Amino acid sequence: MKKTDIAAICCTVAVICGFAFIPGAWKWFNTTTKAHGLLMSFFKFAILGTFGEMLSLRIREGKYLKERFGLFPKLLIWGVLGVVIASAMTIFKSGTVTLLDKGFKLHDAGLWFAGSLSWGKFFVALCISVLMNTLFAPVFMTFHKITDIHIADTGGTLKGFFGKKLNINDIMANKIDWNIQFGFIFAKTIPLFWYPAHTITFLLPSTYQVLFAAFLGVALGVILSIKK
């Protein structure tokens, strides 16, 4: 175990202990999440999403950071994506319930989803997860891949990231491996990982849904690293 591993473990334990033992810490977290949901989503994903990529790199290459990794650009992009994800979750939750009610005449869908854990609530959560990950996730994942490539191409710095024009056409045409992006990321991780994972997410209390979604990014990063 390297010194960086010890530091990472100590930081993780310190954060967990802080929420567990500091009076009012968890209450502050819940209150702030309810009052400033999108802002908290930015910080949750900025921290956890970037940490997931660092952990993935550690598993693959034995280090948490490397040249052109782009720590600060990744923090920024993950934060913005966190706001987008939180917004999408809100839209698809309300939209799916309305679709089930108006389109499929399941008039109790809203009551099922708002109630305690039941097969009805599970069904609605599954429908939300399937619709969100089918309609929204491929666009989201492709945009994330584009920004990752742009970060690497511009040296991993904020100055480079903002100083060079984002050439989406060139990246999509020449730099994305669509066999992997479509054949594995879309075709396998979405139905096998994201459908069930986000079903669980939507069964949780709303205060914890975005936080759990951010942790899922860390988990998937680890899974993909082990596969590689």
- Please tell me whether residues 50 and 78 are part of one structural domain: yes
Q: Is the pTM of this model over 0.85?
A: yes
User: CA-to-CA distance for 184 and 193, rounded, in angstroms?
Assistant: 11
- Please tell me whether residues 31 and 7 are part of one structural domain: yes
- Please tell me whether residues 24 and 118 are part of one structural domain: no
Residue 213 belongs to domain spanning: 36-227
Query: Would you state the pLDDT for residue 226?
Result: 65
- Please tell me whether residues 86 and 163 are part of one structural domain: yes
- Please tell me whether residues 50 and 31 are part of one structural domain: no
- Please tell me whether residues 69 and 101 are part of one structural domain: yes
Residue 228 has pLDDT above 90, yes or no: no
- Please tell me whether residues 89 and 2 are part of one structural domain: no
- Please tell me whether residues 1 and 43 are part of one structural domain: no
Q: pLDDT tens digits for 211-222? A: 999 999 888 777
Long-range contacts of 65-71 (CB under 8 A, 24+ apart): 67/156, 68/151, 68/152, 68/155, 68/156, 69/156, 70/151, 70/152, 70/155, 70/156, 70/157, 70/161, 71/156
Query: Would you state the pLDDT for residue 182?
Result: 93
Q: How many domains does the chain have?
A: 2
Q: pLDDT tens digits for 54-108? A: 998 998 899 999 989 999 999 999 999 999 999 999 999 999 999 999 999 999 9
Query: Would you state the pLDDT for residue 219?
Result: 83
- Please tell me whether residues 51 and 100 are part of one structural domain: yes
Query: Would you state the pLDDT for residue 3?
Result: 86
Residue 154 has pLDDT above 90, yes or no: yes
- Please tell me whether residues 132 and 147 are part of one structural domain: yes
- Please tell me whether residues 19 and 94 are part of one structural domain: no
- Please tell me whether residues 52 and 28 are part of one structural domain: no
Residue 155 has pLDDT above 90, yes or no: yes
